[in-house]
Amino acid sequence: MPQQVTVTEHIILHQNMVPKATGQFTRLFNEIVLSAKIISRQVNKAGLVDVLGFTGDTNVQGEEVKKLDEYANRILIHRLARSGVLCAMASEENADIIEIPHGLPQGGYIIIFDPLDGSSNIDVNVNIGTIFSIYRRVSPSSEPLMTSDVLQPGVEQVAAGYILYGSSTMLVFTTGTGVHGFTLDPGVGEFLLSHPNIRIPEQGKIYSVNEGYSQYWDEPTREVVNYFKSSENNHKKPYSARYIGSLVADFHRNLLYGGIFLYPADLRDPKKPAGKLRLLCEANPMAMLVEQAGGMAIDGHKRILEIDPDHLHQRVPLFIGSRDDVKKVQQIYAKYNSPGL
């Protein structure tokens, strides 16, 4: 029988290697894993809305059918609040920091998540994902939680990862010792280690950007994308364009095949002066993952992980992927010597 390591075994093994580990992180991770399985089951049934009831309807079991992103958010908040190891949560779907309800035990961790990313793909059976980012509380637990406990730069993350709901459901995460991927075996209901120690190729052959917005890009961004499309680049032929419009799916493909994902600033769109993606729940966790896999993530100039956040839903331009491809973007932006952000 082939060796089959479950995600729980993997986490416990690593916990045993850390002196004085208390098991708090393992408890938190178990709740993430369980939430992932519950959301995955619901995502797999998404095409059956006609049978089970439309959003807003009451289904055959007499339950109200929720939109999938609201459902995922509710599951995560409910499960994670009960882990007993968190002092706060933040979600892309909630305007403010989510406190742990009175009466439930608390601990020293903070989790920030995007419950179901790729909203434009939810209703059409195209890949979507959950993204999470974990920090340790900085202020003393005897005092009220500070906003600065939640607004930490990405370098302070103790773990980050995503769940990809695709042709299989995958959990990919890092605790700072490499990136590991687990695939859900629906037969046994367990995530099994399928992609140990993922390394992103140093140079890719794929670029991923919403080129429909190219008329709104600044000069350096146009030059960057032209570079990837030209046969004069390091690859000596044009890169292939691949854009799903689900960050988790685009990122995951590029992580395994090599390549770069770009969501630049949109200077002429007043709604997107810093792009669309959110620093805390999207860019930081992906940046930790890519760096742990040997890649890079920048905002055009500097490392995503070193940005000091000033608000919960702050947006940031994102260039993320294979090291040489991201370095090239950095060189081009530097040449223009303009912040462009």
Q: Which chain residues interact with ligand AHM by CB under 6 A?
A: 92, 114, 117-120, 210, 245-247, 276
Specify the residue, 114 or 149, whose C-beta has the smaller distance to Mg ion. Answer: 114
Helix (H) or strand (E) holding 110: strand 109-117
Asked whether position 149 contacts Mg ion by CB under 5 A, the answer is no
CB 124 within 8 A of CB 153: no
Among 31, 117, 190, 266, binds Mg ion (CB under 5 A): 117
Which entry of ligand AHM, Mg ion, none binds 131, CB below 5 to 8 A by partner kind? none
Q: How far is it, in rounded angstroms, from Cα 269 to Cα 276? A: 11
> DSSP assignment of 296-311, as one string?
EEESSSSBGGG----S
CB-CB neighbours of 19 under 10 Å: 5
Q: Residue 204 CB, nearest distance to ligand AHM (Å)?
A: 17
Asked whether position 114 contacts Mg ion by CB under 5 A, the answer is yes
Query: Counting beta carbons within 10 angstroms of the beta carbon of residue 233, is it exposed (0 to 12), middle (13 to 18) or buried (19 or more)?
Result: middle
The CA-based angle 79-81-87, given to 5 degrees, is 150
Which entry of Mg ion, ligand AHM, none binds 245, CB below 5 to 8 A by partner kind? ligand AHM
269 is in an annotated binding site: no
119 is in an annotated binding site: yes
| Helix 219-229 with 323-336: angle, nearest 10 deg | 140
291 is in an annotated binding site: no
Specify the residue, 17 or 124, whose C-beta has the smaller distance to Mg ion. Answer: 124
Q: Residue 12 CB, nearest distance to ligand AHM (Å)?
A: 32
Residue 163 vs residues 39, 135, 238: alpha-carbon distances, Å: 10, 18, 31
CB-CB neighbours of 272 under 10 Å: 18
Asked whether position 69 contacts Mg ion by CB under 5 A, the answer is no
Specify the residue, 117 or 325, whose C-beta has the smaller distance to Mg ion. Answer: 117
Six token digits for residue 294 = 């040997």
Q: Residue 241 CB, nearest distance to ligand AHM (Å)?
A: 13
Q: Residue 271 CB, nearest distance to ligand AHM (Å)?
A: 10
Which entry of Mg ion, ligand AHM, none binds 11, CB below 5 to 8 A by partner kind? none
243 is in an annotated binding site: yes
Binding residues, as ranges, are 92, 114, 116-120, 210, 243, 276, 282
Annotated binding site for substrate: 117-120, 210, 243, 276
